[in-house]
Structure 1
């Protein structure tokens, strides 16, 4: 997979979700893009040099800049005939999605065996990384207890799952709290090894327990995409790197993810590493 030629692209999850939607609104704006809310899902529109998110659309920078300058939070957005129509105070702007290329962001399945995880370049790099001083949570005895429980507990035990998920969900600061990112990374590892059937209770419990009552709408949207089997482009690359034996290539993928958000990339990588540890022992 390669998106380095800066073309306009969208996740193949976007049209599937928008097919039965009509009325939305501008939810939030950032330096590099904005979220459009349709019911409980956030569609993220960014520029072509950004990593494509699971519910993402990457468009030309000038086009994005025009939208960003004209719209305000809570402005109405209508999806009609494969177009997003922004109803701004200044003027209406139409973004035609019909000719924007679809990118498959479904979670790929790892080809290696679980017993081979600890022998991969990716695992060895993550094992040596100083997560303690780079994630958004201060590691203390209580955090260590729940990290240990996350890695060692039976994921078919819903009572334990609930205790773990309630501890991590919403914990930390930011648009996606660090605890949510750790859970997302952990669950990504399980799904990338096609372990949904074996650890089905964990998948079910996390989808039920992470909601707007306990964390941010952005986290809920990410979890929703993950449970449906979709990831951001950078994490698709991370999963593929499990099969790569060239360390410089794997380092490059990891470095891109580290730069995401204030600590979000590191938090999710940490969760993914914990998921790999869990899988290699089960």
Structure 2
């Protein structure tokens, strides 16, 4: 006997296929904004829209999120009931019967002029940010050093940012692996800062297409072949490799790609607001993508 049924308002178009492939699983991780269930080797997020619409998400109304989170515990059994389109847990049932399917669409970079204008607008926003990323990097200081006319002596994590830009324009598998091993899994939280940054880099590539196939292959090889990062970060990276991102990330790179100045500040601050430092880490990855793309022009 289930306590109550809650209805998801929005769900990723990819979720039903995942549920039909693996009908049994368990609650993987639980937090204030929702919880993840693990079905086979895939995670599905059930919760609110605070961090945007996720490519593996079922999103509930805010008032229902509290009820859902309060009704589950890590390790609870999960069963997908295909006849009722609902996820059954010991304390609650989540139905997608009345929900609306979504896909976070991406656009393509329109022109060199738009890119130049977007990079300038982006950098002007970044130099106003006082906060440091999860890897203790100041975007303001990094940009100041990067654009300085004199030769820089890059140290610590910043030296790896420069190396990541070199790897991003390279097909040198040794270099790509070295820099990915530095960033993947580096930092605290469910999605470590280094992983969020790689997601940002992949997001800008999704609208501009400058990364090599070798880069994509090496990311996939490392996250699938080793326990190099957290389960949640791995899931975001898996989707990023398929050019599927949360709406906060998609909206940001779309604004950069189509030069939408009217919506720019809103989507920028929506992304900055994600997680403790996840949004800022992702922003740094997008910046590295833009700076690499500029070098290749």
Structure 1 length normalisation: TM-score? 0.86
Q: CA deviation at 1:244?
A: 3.3
Q: CA deviation at 1:54?
A: 1.5
Q: CA deviation at 1:110?
A: 1.9
Q: Which structure is larger by alpha-carbon Rg, 1 or 2? A: 2
Aligned residues of 2:26 and 2:75 also touching (Cα < 8 A): yes
Give me the whole-angstrom Cα distance separating, in 1, the residues matched to 2:290 and 2:126. 10
- Aligned partner of residue 52 in structure 2, secondary structure: coil
Give me the whole-angstrom Cα distance separating, in 1, the residues matched to 2:204 and 2:235. 18
Give me the whole-angstrom Cα distance separating, in 2, the residues matched to 1:98 and 1:35. 19
Q: Which runs of 5+ in 1 are unaligned?
A: 1-6
Aligned residues of 2:86 and 2:97 also touching (Cα < 8 A): yes
**1:10 alignment counterpart:** 11
Among candidates 226, 230, 233, match of residue 244 of structure 2: 230
Q: Deviations over 1:74-94 (max 9, x none)?
A: 0001112122111x2xx4x32
Aligned residues of 1:109 and 1:193 also touching (Cα < 8 A): no
| 1:144 has 2:162 as partner | no
| 1:277 has 2:280 as partner | no
Q: CA deviation at 1:161?
A: 0.7
Give me the whole-angstrom Cα distance separating, in 1, the residues matched to 2:159 and 2:252. 27
Among candidates 101, 109, 112, match of residue 111 of structure 1: 109
1:145-164 → structure 2 map (5 Å cutoff): 145-153=159-167, 154-164=169-179
Q: Which runs of 5+ in 2 are unaligned?
A: 1-7, 138-153
Give me the whole-angstrom Cα distance separating, in 2, the residues matched to 1:230 and 1:186. 13
Q: Point out 4+ residue stretches in structure 1 off by more than 4 angstroms.
A: none
Give me the whole-angstrom Cα distance separating, in 2, the residues matched to 1:72 and 1:241. 39
Q: CA deviation at 1:115?
A: 6.5
- Aligned partner of residue 241 in structure 1, secondary structure: helix
- Aligned partner of residue 188 in structure 1, secondary structure: helix
User: Greater CA deviation, 163-172 or 65-74?
Assistant: 65-74
**2:144 alignment counterpart:** none
Cα RMSD after superposing both structures: 2.2
Q: CA deviation at 1:100?
A: 0.8
**2:66 alignment counterpart:** 65
Q: Deviations over 1:24-59 (max 9, x none)?
A: 111111111111111222211112565211111111
